[in-house]
Amino acid sequence: MRKQWLRSIERLLKSRAMSLRQILIHPDPRLKKTCPPVAEVDDAIRKLADDMLETMYDAPGVGLAAPQIGVMKRIFVMDCDKEEPGLAPVVAINPEILWASDELGVYEEGCLSIPDIYEDVTRPKQIRLRYLDLDGKTQERELDDLWSTCAQHELDHLNGRLFIDYLSGIKRTMITNKMKKLKKELGRT
Ligand code: GNR
Ligand code: NI
């Protein structure tokens, strides 16, 4: 009786446990694909979001998109609160940009899938983002500065686009060659 009870608690704890996922390094065909939308926000999606948050904080990074861990679904997480306080961590499912400002901003961007490379990228300074939250409820947020930049960087991942795609062809080739070398050193295929 007691043993059975312990076993069910064990199962409950295990089902809630988060796990770190391996982050893919560019070049990888999965980072070049457009992801299909999430059909239903269920427990599997909530578990995926937990894993993505844990993986992002561990890295550490301010954002992470599902294809970066090889999951081809339209979902990203972000938390820029340390750099720009104001918002709680965001889990965005099937995100869409409803509006983008004419005003532009420049950020030195990095990407967990392109380690140790930082380059300036110009994007709209503000956006209005619509997405589903973990309860499957539609949310809308106006985002500024780093939060806006990060959301655009993550949404690009869902469409198979990386920040180096905004750079010159020569720069992109140099970075890609560096990453191929890094992957070989790490024994990643
Ligand atoms: O950790 C990250 N930092 C960052 C800095 C400037 C602009 C965008 C980002 S996102 C990046 C994490 C990542 O690769 N997300 O996909
Ligand atoms: Ni990235």
Are 115 and 78 contacting, i.e. CB atoms less than 8 angstroms apart?
no
pLDDT (0 to 100) of residue 49? 98
> Rounded to two decimals, what is the model's pTM?
0.92
pLDDT (0 to 100) of residue 18? 78
How large is the average pLDDT for residues 104-121?
98
Share of the chain above pLDDT 90, in %: 90
Q: Comparing C-alpha atoms, which of 45, 24, 63, 50 is closest to residue 149?
A: 63
- Please list every protein residue whose CB sits less than 6 Å from any atom of ligand 1: 61-65, 68, 107, 109-113, 149-150, 153-154, 157
Our answer to whether residue 109 is catalytic in this structure is no
Are 84 and 147 contacting, i.e. CB atoms less than 8 angstroms apart?
yes
pLDDT (0 to 100) of residue 17? 76
Q: Which of 54, 83, 154, 185 is catalytic?
A: 154
Query: Nearest C-alpha to atom 16 of ligand 1 is from which residue?
Result: 64
Q: Could you say which ligand is closest to the alpha carbon of residue 165?
A: 2
Q: Could you say which ligand is closest to the alpha carbon of residue 150?
A: 1
